[in-house]
Amino acid sequence: MAGGGVSADTQHPHPTYKDTWNYGVTSNGWAYSHYYLEAPIRLGSGSSVTDIWGNVKDYAKSNYGWANSGATKHWSWIQAKSFYSWYEF
């Protein structure tokens, strides 16, 4: 697990365009997911952080540029999970 507490449940890069995904948990317990899809067409970037049961703790989307989501990890989450996505707009 990257960052010592985040499970990356999807690690499938976009088939056509360059994308960058950064995720993890910082030393002070901040769980984060930052995603950027560099597409010359109308595709946006999405990111989210959930607990082990799939309850969304933060979600972000951006038509252009980085989608940055994050939340302070609580012990009751057991594990933080990070996700990314892309969408048409």
Residues 21-77 pLDDT 10s: 999 999 999 999 999 999 999 999 999 999 999 999 999 999 999 999 999 999 999
- Those residues whose C-beta lies under 8 Å from the C-beta of residue 27, and which sit 6 or more positions away, are none
> Which amino acid, one-letter code, is at 77?
W
Structural domains in the chain? 6-88 (2.60.40.2850)
DSSP string, 22-52: EEEE-TTSEEEEEEEEE-SSSEEEEEEEE-T
pTM of the predicted model, to two decimals? 0.85
> Which amino acid, one-letter code, is at 85?
S
Residues 47-59 pLDDT 10s: 999 999 999 999 9
